[in-house]
């Protein structure tokens, strides 16, 4: 009930400042045992009826946090306190990156949307892997961690597979599954790697290293032509891809109303997320689900705000769900609300 008030205050700040401030606040809350227990009671949902196994990993509940929120794996305990069943860290790149110049994250409140061109800002593989190793050694936790991996901006596309392999080796011990991100619109040329030959090269190299059979998924853009989706479906028959994440943000600004299209122009390039993305990403999910005929699981990402949105993704073929923009607009109750809805509508 308090979140709309808090959100109004946070929305007076630039988005990245609000993000750091709220995560700092959560860290403080988590460090105080009484507050931590109260918050856990408030936000966690005992979802034993919703726990499920996908690609060999047991998820305590199907509601996860999408990649790009905790890029550096710095807030996992705090996010677990809020009830997430899993968190996808990253996108991690082999070398640290500052990302694009600020401002690079914009709100469109009347359509519950965001536009971002962060550009894979992250502390780099070495620091992130070290942080995860320390956490693993010192924390008892059921939280499932996905490792979303990408290439550095300076790496040529022809060598991209090497960056994915470096990330894989560095994170293998400390994540439960991997996601190959070739679908961010904010690294020049990255989305060209969604083409079949490039994907084949990346996945072949990764699976060659994958002696312990760690699940490796592919995250896709919602803007792919049907023929490109068909190629990916065909590739899942040919090479081991353990699941799909549908979808990343869109570059399609026609999903905004006319007024916001004008505003969006002023914000410049970037990926659009949130409510306007819901339908488009669900269409891609449906198409993929039909094409792969349930052979591999799909994680739905794109515009999930409510239990009904989550249900529509599951009806379209999703096995797991990820939220991002919904978390900003709806607040931390979103996880429990979705879990309660899913339990009631099973």
Ligand X SMILES: Cc1cc2nc3c(=O)[nH]c(=O)nc-3n(C[C@H](O)[C@H](O)[C@H](O)COP(=O)(O)O)c2cc1C
User: Does residue 312 touch ligand X according to CB under 6 A?
Assistant: no
Write the interaction track for ligand X spanning residues 214-253; mark x where CB under 6 A is met and - where it is not. -----x----------------------------xx----
Range in contact with ligand X (rule: CB under 6 A) among 127-135, 260-268, 273-281, 313-321: 273-281
User: Does residue 91 touch ligand X according to CB under 6 A?
Assistant: yes
Question: Among positive and negative, which fits the CA dihedral 302, 308, 314, 316?
Answer: negative
Residue with tokens 């479906």: 233
Distant-in-sequence, close-in-space partners of 263: CB < 8 Å, separation ≥ 6: 108
Where helices occur in the chain by DSSP H, the ranges are 3-10, 15-31, 33-43, 76-81, 125-138, 160-171, 196-209, 226-238, 258-267, 278-292, 307-315, 325-330, 333-344
> 243 - beta bridge partners?
217
Output the residue with the shortest Cβ distance to ligand X.
Answer: 68
CA distances from 188 to 47, 99, 156, 173 (A): 41, 12, 10, 30
Task: Please give the Cα distance from 178 to 325 (Å, whole number).
Answer: 22
User: Does residue 129 touch ligand X according to CB under 6 A?
Assistant: no
105, 202, 284, 298: which one contacts ligand X (CB under 6 A)?
105
User: Does residue 114 touch ligand X according to CB under 6 A?
Assistant: yes
User: Does residue 100 touch ligand X according to CB under 6 A?
Assistant: no
Nearer Cβ to ligand X (49/175)? 175
325, 329, 332, 338: which one contacts ligand X (CB under 6 A)?
325
User: Does residue 274 touch ligand X according to CB under 6 A?
Assistant: yes
Nearest Cα to Cα of residue 79 among 23, 162, 38: 23
The distance of closest approach from Cβ of residue 259 to ligand X in the complex, given in angstroms and rounded to an integer, is: 20
Please identify which of the residues 22, 183, 184, 301 carries the catalytic annotation.
184
93, 111, 181, 337: which one contacts ligand X (CB under 6 A)?
181
CA distances from 334 to 60, 70, 112, 121 (A): 16, 17, 14, 26
Q: Cα angle vertex 41, ends 38, 46, to 5°? A: 165
User: Among this protein's residues, is 184 annotated catalytic?
Assistant: yes
The distance of closest approach from Cβ of residue 177 to ligand X in the complex, given in angstroms and rounded to an integer, is: 13
55, 106, 161, 324: which one contacts ligand X (CB under 6 A)?
324
Write the interaction track for ligand X spanning residues 136-165; mark x where CB under 6 A is met and - where it is not. ------------x-----------------
The distance of closest approach from Cβ of residue 126 to ligand X in the complex, given in angstroms and rounded to an integer, is: 18
User: Does residue 292 touch ligand X according to CB under 6 A?
Assistant: no
How many Cβ atoms are within 10 Å of 200's Cβ, its own excluded?
15
60, 62, 64, 66: which one contacts ligand X (CB under 6 A)?
66
> 220 - beta bridge partners?
246
Nearest Cα to Cα of residue 176 among 215, 210, 142: 215
Nearer Cβ to ligand X (303/332)? 303
68, 85, 185, 264: which one contacts ligand X (CB under 6 A)?
68
How many Cβ atoms are within 10 Å of 151's Cβ, its own excluded?
28
Nearest Cα to Cα of residue 87 among 72, 104, 105, 108: 72
Question: Which residues here bind ligand X, judged by CB under 6 A?
Answer: 66-68, 71, 90-91, 105, 114, 116, 118, 120, 148, 181, 184, 219, 248-249, 273-274, 277, 301-304, 323-326
Catalytic site residues? Answer: 184
């Amino acid at each position: 009930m308090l979140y709309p008030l808090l959100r109004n205050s946070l929305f007076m700040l630039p988005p990245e400042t609000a993000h750091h401030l709220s995560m700092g606040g959560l860290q403080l809350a988590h460090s105080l045992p009484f507050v931590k227990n109260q918050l856990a009671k408030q936000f966690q949902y005992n979802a034993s009826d919703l726990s499920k196994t996908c690609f060999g990993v047991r998820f305590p509940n199907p509601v996860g946090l999408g990649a790009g929120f905790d890029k550096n794996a710095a807030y996992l305990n705090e996010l677990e306190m809020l009830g997430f069943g899993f968190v996808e860290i990253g996108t991690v790149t082999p070398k640290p990156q500052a990302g694009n110049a600020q401002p690079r994250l914009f709100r469109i409140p009347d359509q519950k949307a965001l536009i971002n061109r962060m550009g894979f800002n992250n502390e780099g593989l070495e620091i992130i892997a070290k942080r995860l190793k320390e956490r693993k050694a010192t924390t008892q936790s059921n939280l499932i961690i996905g490792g979303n991996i990408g290439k550095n901006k300076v790496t040529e596309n022809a060598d991209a597979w090497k960056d994915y392999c470096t990330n894989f080796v560095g994170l293998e011990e400390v994540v439960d599954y991997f996601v190959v991100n070739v679908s961010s619109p904010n690294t020049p040329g990255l989305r060209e790697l969604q083409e079949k030959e490039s994907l084949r090269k990346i996945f072949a190299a990764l699976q060659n290293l994958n002696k312990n059979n760690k699940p490796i998924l592919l995250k896709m853009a919602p803007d792919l032509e049907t023929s490109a989706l068909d190629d990916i479906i065909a590739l899942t028959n040919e090479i081991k891809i353990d699941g799909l994440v549908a979808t990343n943000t869109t570059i399609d600004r026609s999903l905004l109303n006319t007024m916001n299209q004008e505003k969006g122009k002023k914000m410049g390039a970037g990926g659009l997320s949130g409510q306007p993305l819901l339908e488009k990403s669900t269409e891609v999910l449906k198409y993929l689900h039909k094409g792969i005929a349930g052979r591999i699981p799909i994680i739905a990402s794109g515009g999930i705000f409510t239990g009904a949105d989550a249900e529509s993704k599951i009806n379209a073929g999703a096995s797991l769900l990820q939220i991002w923009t919904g978390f900003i607009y709806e607040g931390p109750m979103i996880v429990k609300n979705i879990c309660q809805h899913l339990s009631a509508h099973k």
